[in-house]
Structure 1
Amino acid sequence: MTAFLIVLAILIAIIALPLLGLFLFSRRMAAKVEAGMPPAGQFTDVKGGRIHWLSKGEGRPVVMIHGLSGNLHNFTYATAKPLAADYRVIAVDRPGCGYSTRDRDDLARIPEQARMIAEFVEKEGIEKPLIVGHSLGGAVALTLAVNHPERIGGLALVSPLVEPQDEAPPMFRSIDISSPLIRRLIAETIAVPMAIRRGAKTLALVFAPDRPPADFGVKGGGLLSLRPDAFYATSTDLHAVPMDLPGIAPRYGEISVPAGVLYGAQDRVLDAQTHLDALRAALPEIEIVTLPETGHMPLAAAPEETESFIRRMADKTFA
């Protein structure tokens, strides 16, 4: 029996020690990232968490909601500054992302994220903003328009997730994890080392066919993904999408505010035609802009075209 216990203890140590090492490495990396990229804005408490947000400029309000695995720096990289010359530009971290928080996993559901952002808009006295939503943030923006129409003035959708999909985009399928326990175990051990190893390749796939800017990791907020909590939030967001989008999509026809959509025709994350067709069918008057050579990240890859599109939608919203 003693020999058995010794062998068992050795086996446990063989398993536990590497996991402990990975855990400590991941937490040290998260601390370094947060020291180098601390919160850039301010915080507003809402039911179920708090919203981290950054405001630039003065004028009519434009609220920006980023996509999967993103943060508000996706907008401040190239889009927010020129718009802030004429508008009050408010970039938010979605609940659970960047430095925003959510208290429970069910708050990753799209209607809950929309509800928390609507509460933020109300608390901060932001009157009928133009909502800019990128990728998954586009689905949140559409849900805001459907569930909280009194809080918004217009929609400017950039590469939005619109239609339910049979499966996650290829570059994200490996993180579509249904078990919260396994999700957390991976987040605290191998997620950060794997992100360091594969991060450049994943970013290239998301941007393709455009080339990711060399400074996107810092200036665009990419390094904030090198944290266990960021992986956990991204995986939870991804798993939540098919729970809600099939119920939201049939209601797009209820949207009455000015709406427009910009898509890169070469998007490798979402199929542009599928999502544009869905919006065109639901909202025949929607303004559609297609960039023939651009992929999923026009915010950084085609900033001038993105700015011009948002300005046109602001003109319609605030007319």
Structure 2
Amino acid sequence: MDAIDAGSRPRPALVLVHGTRMNAAQWEPYRALLPDVQLVTVDLPGHGDRVGEEFTAESALSTIDRAVGRARAVAGGVPPVLCGHSLGGYLSMTWADQHPGELGGLVLLGATADPRSRLAGVYRGFARVLPVVGPDRMARAVNAVMRVLGARGEHARLLPDGAAYAALPAAWELVMSGGGPQLLTSVDVPVTLVNGQLDQMRLHVGRYAAACRQVRVVTVPRASHLLPATHPEQVAEVLRAAWERASSG
């Protein structure tokens, strides 16, 4: 991580929280796409270097808490921009709701389906089917879909195996029980809601936008829920815009 130039005005860091089954490696290609932005990435419990660790609400939110603390430290105390994809998005809005005044901005990627809707049944059903299909077989199928949808180069190489699926039931149960647009009513910084045009998780984006005090809604054409891997340039452009807004605030 680059040191801050002592003669320049400190600018915020960007905290990136991955989605289900992914890990901090999901964001490595973004270092080249955002070379002048300090990135802080994490592995959630049960993912990446923490595979095998139990996923709980406390451990997941503590992970974000520590990442935000690191981001403030490397940016001279400037509040960071927090971005989460899918599961990471729901966790990020939960953390933001609990920590008003501690962020410079919030970006949610593929995290605007209300988990209190009928969609909850789909994800609970997926969790029940997973042990039958097997995590490795499921991972191969999902990775193949991601490649068909556009994951190329380093994004394709970094696709994980099935080990992190063990954390899925607990992770999504947490989202189903506590997630939703009501979490954004207390968020006092600009919020960017980003979805792929073909993403089922943008179903209730209007509800989430209505709950925000300051909001920008972005729909990436022809992208799916997997847009951080399949449309990295467009996602990086949105992240830069949120970061620049926080930098000028």
Measured against aligned partners, the alpha-carbon deviations of 1:180-229 in whole angstroms (never above 9, x if no partner) come to xxx9xx5xxx77xx333343322345x49724437645x32413x3x3xx
* Aligned residue among 236, 242, 251 for 2:176: 242
Structure 2 unaligned spans of 5+ = 5-11
Whether contact under 8 Å (1:69, 1:97) holds in the other structure is yes
Count matched residues: 236
Distance 2:242 2:63 in 1: 24
Amino acid in structure 1 at the alignment position of 2:177:
M
Whether contact under 8 Å (1:65, 1:138) holds in the other structure is yes
Whether contact under 8 Å (2:139, 2:160) holds in the other structure is no
Give the match for residue 18 of structure 2. Answer: 66
Give the match for residue 118 of structure 2. Answer: 166
Distance 1:220 1:147 in 2: 32
1:315 aligns with 2:244: yes
Report the TM-score, using the length of structure 1 for normalisation: 0.64
Distance 1:287 1:65 in 2: 20
Distance 2:176 2:136 in 1: 28
Amino acid in structure 2 at the alignment position of 1:113:
A
Give the match for residue 88 of structure 1. Answer: 38
Give the match for residue 121 of structure 1. Answer: 68
Counterparts of 1:168-317 in structure 2, within 5 Å, are: 168=120, 173-176=125-128, 194-205=134-145, 207=146, 210-213=149-152, 216=155, 219-223=157-161, 225=162, 227=163, 230-245=164-179, 249-267=181-199, 270-274=200-204, 276-283=205-212, 285-317=214-246
* Aligned residue among 87, 94, 97 for 2:47: 97
1:156 aligns with 2:107: yes
Report the TM-score, using the length of structure 2 for normalisation: 0.80
Structure 1 unaligned spans of 5+ = 1-55, 178-182
Whether contact under 8 Å (2:100, 2:186) holds in the other structure is no
Distance 1:317 1:304, change over 3 A: same
What's the CA shift for 1:255? 0.8
Amino acid in structure 2 at the alignment position of 1:174:
F
Structure with higher Rg: it is: 1
Give the match for residue 10 of structure 1. Answer: none
Amino acid in structure 2 at the alignment position of 1:233:
A
Give the match for residue 79 of structure 1. Answer: 30
Amino acid in structure 1 at the alignment position of 2:196:
G
Whether contact under 8 Å (2:108, 2:194) holds in the other structure is yes
Whether contact under 8 Å (1:208, 1:295) holds in the other structure is no
Distance 1:123 1:199, change over 3 A: closer
2:192 aligns to what SS in structure 1? Answer: strand
Whether contact under 8 Å (1:265, 1:291) holds in the other structure is yes
2:108 aligns to what SS in structure 1? Answer: strand
